[in-house]
Amino acid sequence: MLNKLFCSFLLLGLIAGLPGCSILKEPEPLDLITLRTPLPEVALCETPMPSQIVVVVPDMAGGLRTDRIATLFDEREIRYLAGAKWEAQVPALIQRQLVRYLNATGCFSGAGTEAAGLSSRYRLQSDLQRLHLCYYGKDAVPYAEITLRLSILDAERGRILEARTITFREKSRGTEMNQLMDALDNVVSRAMLDSARWPASVMRVQ
């Protein structure tokens, strides 16, 4: 019996080693998708505050802790787009976008992450509750949706200064990949701009 098993494994090894033969098929590589989120052309603040702000890695549900592009069917079933994925894990993707937009506002002396060595009294915390292509009923064309819960923490006082939730939604122009990504680009851009404007108004009154 042992001799038969050994011979079977040996035969499989020889077949796998032959040119053009493979027991396990290599998976097709996924296309890498990057967000196209143009920054505001004009700074929102004429004079930056002396304060810096640290952007914390966003919290999010397990279904979004991935580099896959999530879809949601009738508010219940999460799936992922076939053949494509984000260029980075979603938490890192959103954190990077928040840093970009906060720096582009011109309202702070700097915005960054703890991983980059930044330390500050003020911290922007976020909870990404939704970043999906959402399908409703029998409609074959989805909506791109993002919901982000934001809070500003004063680390010195150990308290949250203010919190808010923002949601943006836009129907895709069609079902082609570029149309789906355009819709996601648009809702993320609007959410990032709204998120970046808000902390300065809170921090100026402290």
pLDDT per residue over 75-112, tens digit each? 999 999 999 999 999 999 999 999 999 999 999 999 99
Confidence (pLDDT) at 13: 45
pTM to 2 decimals? 0.84
Instruction: Tell me which residue of 97, 99, 98, 32 sits closest to 67, measured CA to CA.
Output: 32
Measured CA to CA in angstroms, residue 127 lies from 6, 57, 147, 164 at distances of 54, 9, 8, 11
Helix, strand and coil percent figures for the chain, each rounded to 5? 30, 35, 35
Residue 114 · residue 53 · CB < 8 Å: no
For tokens 């802790």, name the residue. 65
- Percent of the chain scored above 70 by pLDDT? 87
pLDDT per residue over 59-70, tens digit each? 998 889 999 999
